[in-house]
A and B are shown apart, each in its own frame.
Chain A
């Protein structure tokens, strides 16, 4: 193996699930829709690296982890371990991978088998991989995870351990095979805050001591700086920003990272933090299309050139188009609530009332009005076309791979649209 081969390369990794189909779908020969849980994720883990993947629930981070430990089949892209792609793994490769890549899960209460003693849990990986010296190894690893003296813990069952102790055993089990890579899924988020810090610190120290690398998955940006140098921010299956942790905390570039960072509470009554501007929640990762996944909630979505429109009004148009194109408009209900369900004009006005606050003028207003009339007439396609012609954003039609600039990757047109701004405007500054 060449020296410059990275430890783990995640290359355009894709994990799609097929939505369960029923008999009707089969009869109608409908294509099952795909859940794009992980969709084109790439990053590289070097030896002694610690990389974090941060995102809200449903962003695909746990799917990513399960795919990396080989519990999900890959549906696209690849994971390359020490130069060998997972798709080419034979049994021996798998065996090696499984002994060198270990995982720590979030929930300390269910990550140890309640029927096994600490000793049995810790010995299991050694037995599976036929490693000798088990007693010494188990003893040593208990010392390392600060469960001292080990004799006191060997014969306990999880029931008789506190949350912090359980998680220490789980960390010990991950380390006992002396792996190259630890995958950690929110290992401290369910612990009390008084123990959180000590477990985090211990985990970080042990990763160094055992000469391992780590991929740390969490929803919590505030503790990530204690464990990882680099952060990948994930949204709906893709990485939207990747940079050194302190940079992202200090000056997030992608509008989503910005929202995420600015929503973190500051433990200081004197600090006056503005509440988030964002509303709603991420949508389902189905039929996401080509463009930016954050466009429907993005406060900075980019209007087409030559159109003069207020940002807020533009976002309303985008939200309406999104619902229209996904056939999600609650038309029946709106019509039912009318005094006279046959009144087309009132119908169009009611739809407008539901989606627009009315801050639009000129050509923009005319287009929206015409589209609303189309919708009232039932011609949804025409309305969609009409709106797309005028309002289509670069954010929705242009695929954007994560572009690189030094150590900072931001998947947002704001930073690469040369008509708008130049890259130089956003030259990376470190303090």
Chain B
């Protein structure tokens, strides 16, 4: 009967309704509550700003990223310190650091969103499936998760990338394929808990299909935790990508912030031309910190929320 439920017309309609308001409404509602907290709101706006940079950064760049800069005397501005024309200085090859930084925002944002998205999707799917279906499925999925936990991150990344070929996207793929593990475990635990609530039992007793229960009841209730892991995932993905780039196993031709640091290091001028690596390093740090703190804010909010519900229960 569940299968029939799922294909009948009114349910597809219900499906659209969900996308229309159920999840979206909860998401917007949650976001609004979070933004009431000033610290969290600050991190949120930093993240919005960085995403914005990712979109418009390349357009704002005053120079081309591979456009060698010359001084008035016609010499190559090799590793020139910040000046009015080049507020963040230039690189060893005479490229404008600010321009590279602005252009580099895009791959960083893409890494974050794509990596975080992969982590979220895999982690949530595995966590919910294991938690809700249970039995052998759960055992297999969770043993697999344990196995992934045992995989050392950087060496595996290097092996995988040499296998998939060095490239910007393949490095993101590798990140996503490993880092979902933490989310999966926690979301499974949450699913197990939610599954025990009377409202899920009532829905089952009324004949709700498994699909319906997962989409309408489990998913919205694990969503806060999933978002927390999305935020962490974005941060980790950016960080890991920077590390992989730095180690030279990600494409050096995509001018991400990680690549900038690596180039600075490889040039041997890192200590003299501090402006070259400092700003991208700082930006990576700020981005990652903001995602973590944003996730933390969300988590605080959710726990405060559920505590107040518990307090209600006790009072009654």
Q: Output the residue of A103, A110, A120, A177 with the most chain B CB within 10 A.
A: A110
Chain B residues in 8 Å Cβ range of A111 = 197-199, 202
Chain B residues in 8 Å Cβ range of A95 = 1, 207
Q: Do the beta carbons of B221 and A115 come within 8 Å of each other?
A: yes
- Name the residue on B nearest A173 (C-beta): B202
Contact with B along A253-275 (1 / 0, CB 8 A): 00000000000000000000000
CA–CA, A128 to B5, complex, Å? Answer: 7
CA–CA, A94 to B206, complex, Å? Answer: 10
Instruction: Report if A128-B205 is in contact (Cβ < 8 Å); known contacts: A109-B312, A114-B309.
Output: no
Q: Do the beta carbons of A113 and B217 come within 8 Å of each other?
A: yes
Q: Is the CB of A190 closer than 8 A to any CB of chain B?
A: yes
Instruction: Report if A115-B316 is in contact (Cβ < 8 Å); known contacts: A95-B207, A124-B206, A127-B14.
Output: no
Q: Is the CB of A102 closer than 8 A to any CB of chain B?
A: yes
Q: Is the CB of A70 closer than 8 A to any CB of chain B?
A: yes
Chain A residues in 8 Å Cβ range of B81 = none
Q: Do the beta carbons of A120 and B198 come within 8 Å of each other?
A: no
User: Looking at the complex, which one of A107, A121, A130 makes contact with B198 (CB distance below 8 Å)?
Assistant: A107
Q: Is the CB of A59 closer than 8 A to any CB of chain B?
A: no
Instruction: Report if A105-B22 is in contact (Cβ < 8 Å); known contacts: A94-B1, A114-B309.
Output: no
A-B contact count (CB 8 A): 90
Chain B residues in 8 Å Cβ range of A94 = 1, 207
Q: Do the beta carbons of B206 and A102 come within 8 Å of each other?
A: yes
Q: Do the beta carbons of A109 and B316 come within 8 Å of each other?
A: yes
Q: Is the CB of B203 closer than 8 A to any CB of chain A?
A: yes
Write the nearest CB–CB distance from B297 to chain A, whole angstroms.
19
Q: Is the CB of B220 closer than 8 A to any CB of chain A?
A: yes
Contact with A along B22-43 (1 / 0, CB 8 A): 1000100000000000000000
Q: Is the CB of B210 closer than 8 A to any CB of chain A?
A: no
User: Looking at the complex, which one of B8, B14, B201, B209 makes contact with A103 (CB distance below 8 Å)?
Assistant: B201
Write the nearest CB–CB distance from B195 to chain A, whole angstroms.
11
Q: How many residues of A contact B (CB 8 A)?
A: 41
- Name the residue on A nearest B9 (C-beta): A130
Chain A residues in 8 Å Cβ range of B143 = none
Q: Is the CB of B286 closer than 8 A to any CB of chain A?
A: no
User: Looking at the complex, which one of B8, B205, B212, B217 makes contact with A69 (CB distance below 8 Å)?
Assistant: B205
Interface residues of A in 79-97 (CB under 8 A from B): 91-92, 94-95
- Name the residue on B nearest A104 (C-beta): B202
Q: Is the CB of A76 closer than 8 A to any CB of chain B?
A: no
Q: Do the beta carbons of B197 and A110 come within 8 Å of each other?
A: yes
Instruction: Report if A103-B199 is in contact (Cβ < 8 Å); known contacts: A109-B309, A109-B312, A124-B208.
Output: no
Write the nearest CB–CB distance from A177 to chain B, whole angstroms.
8
Chain A residues in 8 Å Cβ range of B206 = 98-99, 102, 124-125, 128-129, 177
Q: Is the CB of A236 closer than 8 A to any CB of chain B?
A: no
CA–CA, A121 to B208, complex, Å? Answer: 12
Q: Output the residue of B197, B203, B207, B212 with the most chain A CB within 10 A.
A: B207
Per DSSP, are chain B's interface residues mostly helix, strand or loop, or mixed? helix
CA–CA, A115 to B197, complex, Å? Answer: 13
Q: Is the CB of A191 closer than 8 A to any CB of chain B?
A: yes
Q: Output the residue of A71, A120, A191, A192 with the most chain B CB within 10 A.
A: A120
CA–CA, A103 to B201, complex, Å? Answer: 9
Interface residues of B in 251-266 (CB under 8 A from A): none
CA–CA, A174 to B198, complex, Å? Answer: 13
- Name the residue on B nearest A120 (C-beta): B22
Q: Do the beta carbons of A98 and B205 come within 8 Å of each other?
A: yes
- Name the residue on B nearest A163 (C-beta): B316
Instruction: Report if A101-B22 is in contact (Cβ < 8 Å); known contacts: A91-B1, A113-B199, A124-B216.
Output: no
Chain A residues in 8 Å Cβ range of B10 = 127, 130
- Name the residue on A nearest B308 (C-beta): A159
Write the nearest CB–CB distance from B92 to chain A, whole angstroms.
54
CA–CA, A91 to B3, complex, Å? Answer: 11
Q: Is the CB of A112 closer than 8 A to any CB of chain B?
A: yes
Q: Do the beta carbons of B316 and A105 come within 8 Å of each other?
A: no
Chain B residues in 8 Å Cβ range of A177 = 206
Chain A residues in 8 Å Cβ range of B212 = 128
Chain B residues in 8 Å Cβ range of A103 = 201-202, 205
Q: Is the CB of B75 closer than 8 A to any CB of chain A?
A: no
Chain A residues in 8 Å Cβ range of B202 = 103, 105, 111, 170, 173-174
Q: Do the beta carbons of A159 and B309 come within 8 Å of each other?
A: yes
Q: Do the beta carbons of A127 and B11 come within 8 Å of each other?
A: yes
Q: Is the CB of B313 closer than 8 A to any CB of chain A?
A: yes
Write the nearest CB–CB distance from B222 to chain A, whole angstroms.
10
Q: Do the beta carbons of A101 and B316 come within 8 Å of each other?
A: no
Q: Do the beta carbons of A71 and B207 come within 8 Å of each other?
A: no
Chain B residues in 8 Å Cβ range of A91 = 1, 4
Q: Do the beta carbons of A105 and B201 come within 8 Å of each other?
A: yes
A interface with B by C-beta (< 8 Å): 66, 69-71, 91-92, 94-95, 98-99, 101-103, 105-107, 109-116, 120-121, 124-125, 127-130, 159, 163, 170, 173-174, 177, 190-192
B interface with A by C-beta (< 8 Å): 1, 4-5, 8, 10-11, 14, 22, 26, 197-199, 201-209, 212, 216-217, 220-221, 308-309, 312-313, 316
Sample of 8 A–B contacts (CB below 8 Å): A103-B201, A105-B198, A106-B198, A111-B202, A114-B309, A127-B14, A130-B8, A192-B316
Given A91-B4, A110-B199, 13 more pairs with CB closer than 8 A: A103-B202, A105-B198, A107-B313, A109-B309, A109-B313, A111-B202, A114-B309, A115-B221, A120-B22, A125-B206, A128-B5, A159-B309, A191-B316
Considering the complex of A and B, which 8 residue pairs feature the smallest CB-CB distances, nearest first? A98-B207, A105-B198, A111-B198, A115-B220, A69-B205, A91-B1, A109-B313, A113-B199
